[in-house]
Amino acid sequence: MLLPYFEQYEGNGPALLMVHGFLSSRAQWLANLDALRQVCSPVVIELFGHGRAASPTDSACYQPDYYVAAFDLIRQQLGIESWSVLGYSLGAALTLRYSLTHPGHTHAQVFTNSTSAFAEPAVTAHFRKNAQQLIRQYETGGLDAINAIAVHPRHAKRIPEPWKAQLLADCQQLSPGGVGRTLAHTNGNASVRDLIKNNQVPTLLVQGTREARFEPFRDYAEATMPNLEIVTVDAGHAVNLEAIDGFNTAVTDFLRRH
């Protein structure tokens, strides 16, 4: 089984799987690692087509269930019996799916604003319907087409330096084909909206309150998902980079309790 790229860090506590979002990389977590390593031992993933990961042409590799199986194989290879998981944006959709599939191997989980995790069926169907068009669009357009995507880090206004510079440096490694396949096959199948009612794992949402479009999803999660705590911080979508201290405090406190 082809695995996404991963790095393991030493820390003062159990393992924590960390999964970035669309058009990001391991640089997503550079502002948080020192604080988190006080309470856990991070395992940082890079998704296919992103950062240092491979960019397979097989669409099956981009399916959320494939990622869930790959994450669990990484857990086994590292000799970890049980870990916690942390997901950002699209990565949150994948870590939520992991915990729903493998609650016995998940101590606790944290996630940030993720519209892909709670997307309505019509939204995900759009990605699947236009899969081949999306892949061709980015394979043909290359990095210029990727740079034009609205959620590209280059358009972020509240991510401080040097973290933004690190993200942008890694964006130069984005694979156009991998980006297209991520949109088509990962985003297109990412939603766990109808599954979260089955959550068995202690869960923390660290919500950036400046992202108005996430508010209905936060309300849905609060009403539907068992074992959920919510901490709000003054941030937009890039919760862990716009409110570094608030995010680090919320996550480390939560992990200490679980």
In the chain, domain spans = 5-257
Can you tell me the distance from the alpha carbon of 49 to that of 199, in angstroms, rounded to the nearest whole number?
Answer: 29
Can you tell me the distance from the alpha carbon of 163 to that of 9, in angstroms, rounded to the nearest whole number?
Answer: 19
Tell me, what's the pLDDT at 128? 87
Can you tell me the distance from the alpha carbon of 81 to that of 83, in angstroms, rounded to the nearest whole number?
Answer: 7
Task: Name the DSSP letter for residue 13.
Answer: S
What ranges in 64-130 are assigned the alpha helix state H? 64-77, 90-101, 121-129
Identify the residue whose tokens are 């996550």: 251
Tell me, what's the pLDDT at 125? 82
What is the mean pLDDT, run by run of 10 residues, along the chain of 258 residues?
97 98 98 98 98 97 98 98 98 98 98 96 83 94 96 96 97 97 95 98 98 98 98 98 98 97
Tell me, what's the pLDDT at 192? 98
Task: Name the DSSP letter for residue 159.
Answer: P
84 φ, ψ to 5°?
-100, 165
Tell me, what's the pLDDT at 123? 80
Can you tell me the distance from the alpha carbon of 182 to that of 54, in angstroms, rounded to the nearest whole number?
Answer: 12
Tell me, what's the pLDDT at 130? 85
> How crowded is residue 12: how many other Cβ atoms within 10 Å of its Cβ?
10
Identify the residue whose tokens are 């391991």: 26
- Entry pTM: 0.97
Topology of the domain covering 5-257: Rossmann fold (3.40.50)
Tally the residues of the chain.
Answer: 258
